[in-house]
Chain A
Amino acid sequence: MNLSACMKKNVVAIKINATIREAAAIIVKKHIGLLPIVDKDDKPVGVIGLGDLLKLELPAFVDFVADVDFVHDFGAVENTRPSAKTLKETVKSLMRPIITVEESCGLLRAYALMLQQNLHDMPVVSGDGKLVGIASRVDIGVAILSTWAKVE
Chain B
Amino acid sequence: MNAATVLSSLIFIVSLALIFSEKINRTIVAFAGAFLMMAVGEALHFYNMESAIEAIDFETLGLLMGMMIIVAMLEPTGFFEYLAVLAARASKGNPVRLFILLGSVTTVLSMFLDNVTTVVLIAPVTVLISEILGVSPLPFLISEALLSNTGGVATLVGDPPNVLIGSAAGFSFNDFLIYSLPIVVITWLGALILLRYLFRKELSKRPRNAKAVMKLNPAQILNEPEKARKILIVLGAAILLFFVHHLLGIEPAFVALGAAAVALLWVQPDIHETLIKVEWRVLVFFGALFIMVGGLEKAGVLESVVGLVRDASNISPIWFGVGLIWVVAILSAVVDNIPITIALIPIIHGLGEAGMDIGPLWWALAFGAGFGGNGTIIGSTANIIVVTLSEKTRSPITTALWIKRGLPVMLATCTIASILYALLFRWL
Contact = CB atoms under 8 A, between A and B. Distances in A.
A143 B212 CA distance: 46
A8 to B, nearest CB: 36
A5 B281 CA distance: 56
A64 B220 CA distance: 17
Given A70-B216, A70-B221, A75 B393 contact: no
Nearest to A77: B131
A65 B389 CA distance: 12
Given A64-B127, A64-B389, A76-B209, A71 B132 contact: yes
A75 B129 CA distance: 9
A71 B208 contact: no
Contacts of B213: 75
Nearest to B85: A70
A59 B131 CA distance: 7
B125 A76 contact: no
A64 B212 contact: no
B24 to A, nearest CB: 28
Interface in A8-63: 59-61, 63
Interface in B126-157: 127-128, 131-134
A69 to B, nearest CB: 6
A75 B211 CA distance: 8
A73 B394 CA distance: 20
B218 A75 contact: no
B23 interface: no
B124 A76 contact: no
A85 interface: no
- Chain A interface size band reads 20 to 34
B217 interface: yes
A150 interface: no
A74 interface: yes
A57 to B, nearest CB: 11
Given A71-B216, A75-B211, A60 B393 contact: yes
A92 B216 CA distance: 38
Contacts of B133: 75-76
A71 B125 CA distance: 11
B426 interface: no
A60 B392 contact: yes
Interface in B378-416: 389, 392-394
A96 to B, nearest CB: 19
B346 interface: no
A63 B392 contact: yes
B300 interface: no
A72 to B, nearest CB: 4
B209 A60 contact: no
B132 A74 contact: yes
